[in-house]
Amino acid sequence: MTNSRPVITRFAPSPTGHLHVGGARTALFNWALARRLGGRFLLRIEDTDVLRSSDAAVAGILEDLAWLGIDWDEGPEHAGRGGDPRGVGPFFQSQRLTLYREASDRLVAEDLAYPAFEAPEELDALRRSARAETGAFRYRRPAGWDRGAALARAAREPHVIRFRWPQQAITVRDEILGEVAFPADFVDDFVILKRDGFPTYHLGVVVDDEGMGVTHVLRGQEHLGNTPRHIALQRALGYRVPVYAHLPLIQNPDGSKMSKRDADSPEPGAELPAITVEDFRRAGYTPAVLLNFLALLGWSSGEKLPDSRDLERFDTRYLASHFALERVGRGNAKFDRAKLLAFSHEALAGLSDDEWLAQWQGWCERYAPEAPARLGDPARAQVFGAALRSRARTLAEPSAPGGPGRFALVADAGFAYDAKAVEKLLLKGDPSGLSLLSAVAERLAALPDFAPDAIEALVAAFATERGVKLGVVAQALRTAVTGAGASPPLGQTLVILGRASTLARIARCLRECGGGA
């Protein structure tokens, strides 16, 4: 892969919604290649689909990339990123229509493109006829076509501009797939300029890549069939052909497409699978974890750990210094959600208590602003962080229904009692755990130092005094204050709640589950 020009890569999303993780992987690989080769990475917004593009989607994509930490050297200015130091902008295709019209006019003037007038229903009829005869529809310039008459008609009637496919075989030289040959009749005379004056993807991307000096185009293999079209346009316009590299597709482990629309008949209100960067951010994944995981979807460093396992844990600095197209595979990449969750769990457990707490509080600011307030003073929040750091697999999990920290983030009457836990841990035995709660609550109310170690010592002493196993008292308390038989260590659990909530919850348990002293 040699090129005398400075390396310039680009990411060019269509603003029709939040950034898909497949797009994020493409952006990451383009960014990494530019960083490793000392080049530039630019961001371009392909907003020519007027009906589907929106300002909100643009803002979402910019925010998604900024959150991931994928910084662009040129492009829309956002969060300290972007700008136009080389003067190759603007970076929104909707602001570059004159350039596309000029390119289209050049091709028409050289008889390499031409106006076409068929209405959608006429094209549908042609397709149906072709399917009935040969099974394949290829639009070609009609027999007996008169250039002068067509140009005169174009001056007064709506039309599209079609590129005259050169009827030549084209070989794509791909840095990942090798040489891929396409026959002379691979495509038809395709549209390059729509009736509304906006370019199709093919013309827009070719004009912009040339004008912005893009040297390397990294995109998904779903675009491989577009590449001969683009090469033909580049040749017709006298443009340089960039280096192409088509990345492996990202699929679910069963080989299906990663799409919310493809979920199996979701029920109304059912949670749909996460597929966008925002989905995974809301689900509590950190940008470092998500980027690390995305980098492994089709690429490997080739490095081995001392135990001969492949190196899989690394940051973006490592990726920027090691990324190479030679290490990108050809086969489809499988998006293993269980592996991503394991990555997240390991990464969060590796943080310090303070780091974990800060990241969790940052997540809460965006998605659950009421949660930290329920912890009260900072000391209780510190205990919460220490208790949940190794338990929570994502930043969202502590506050999720059934999550390991949910007990502390709801009101004292805001949780239900698990019937099995009540039966087993409160009502069974002689004495039952429930019958001991009033007495142990009095001890807790009088405890001078309401701290984890002091609480654990009090409960142990109380159990010895009453001649019961420690678990009888501890599990009764745990069930009383959380509604379930599992929580962080009891001392931490009670400190996280605070003395007042602990006593209020024990009193509630005695009222609702029956009491005794």
Say which CATH number the domain at 169 has: 3.40.50.620
- 388 and 494 assigned to the same domain: no
Bridge partner list, 113: 163
Rounded to whole angstroms, the Cα distance separating 430 from 506 reads 19
User: Which long-range contacts link 440-448 to residues 24+ away (Cβ below 8 Å)?
Assistant: 440/473, 440/477, 441/503, 441/506, 441/507, 444/494, 444/499, 444/502, 444/503, 444/506, 445/499, 445/503, 447/499
- 388 and 443 assigned to the same domain: no
Residues 6+ apart with CB under 8 A from 147: 111, 114
Domain membership flag for residue 230? yes
- Give per-residue pLDDT as tens, 233-244: 999 999 999 999
Task: Determine the 3-state secondary structure of 90 from DSSP.
Answer: coil
**End of a domain among 197, 226, 247?**
247
Domain membership flag for residue 166? yes
- 211 and 325 assigned to the same domain: no
Domain count, the chain: 3
CB-neighbour burial class of residue 306 (10 A; exposed 0-12, middle 13-18, buried 19+): exposed
- How many alpha carbons lie under 13 Å from residue 288 in its C-beta half-sphere? 16
- 450 and 492 assigned to the same domain: yes
Domain membership flag for residue 47? no
**End of a domain among 205, 228, 247?**
247
Neighbours of 87 (CB within 10 A): 6
- 202 and 294 assigned to the same domain: no
Q: Specify the CATH number for the domain of residue 485.
A: 1.10.10.350
Q: One digit per residue, pLDDT tens: the chain, 517 residues?
A: 444 679 999 999 999 888 999 999 999 999 999 999 999 999 999 999 888 889 999 999 999 999 999 999 999 999 889 999 999 999 999 999 999 999 999 999 999 999 999 988 888 888 888 777 777 788 888 888 899 999 999 999 999 999 999 999 999 999 999 999 999 999 999 999 999 999 999 999 999 999 999 999 999 999 999 999 999 999 999 999 999 999 999 999 888 888 755 444 445 555 678 899 999 999 999 999 999 999 999 999 999 889 888 899 999 999 999 999 999 999 999 999 999 999 999 999 999 999 999 999 999 999 999 999 888 889 999 999 999 999 999 999 999 998 999 999 999 999 999 999 999 999 999 999 999 999 999 999 999 999 999 999 999 999 999 999 999 999 999 999 999 999 999 999 999 999 999 999 999 999 998 744 3
**110-139 burial string, b = 16+ CB within 10 Å, else e?**
eebbbbbeeeeeeeeeeeeeeeeeeeeeeb
200, 227 contact by CB (below 8 A): no
- Give per-residue pLDDT as tens, 395-419: 999 999 989 999 999 999 999 999 9
Domain membership flag for residue 205? yes
Q: Which strands, in side-by-side order, build the sheet including 160-163?
A: 113-116, 160-163, 191-193
- 116 and 182 assigned to the same domain: yes
* Tokens encoding 95: 């602001």
Domain membership flag for residue 156? yes
Domain membership flag for residue 436? yes
- 224 and 111 assigned to the same domain: yes
Domain region containing 211: 96-247
Domain membership flag for residue 231? yes
- 389 and 300 assigned to the same domain: yes
* Cis-peptide into 13, omega within 30 deg: no
* Tokens encoding 3: 């090129």
**End of a domain among 403, 437, 469?**
403
- 398 and 424 assigned to the same domain: no
- 135 and 243 assigned to the same domain: yes
pTM of the model: 0.92
Active site residues: 260
Domain membership flag for residue 151? yes
* Tokens encoding 389: 């750091």
Helices (H), 224-352: 227-237, 277-282, 287-295, 316-322, 337-349
Q: What is the DSSP string of 401-413?
A: TT-TTGGGSS-TT
- 301 and 364 assigned to the same domain: yes
- 243 and 282 assigned to the same domain: no
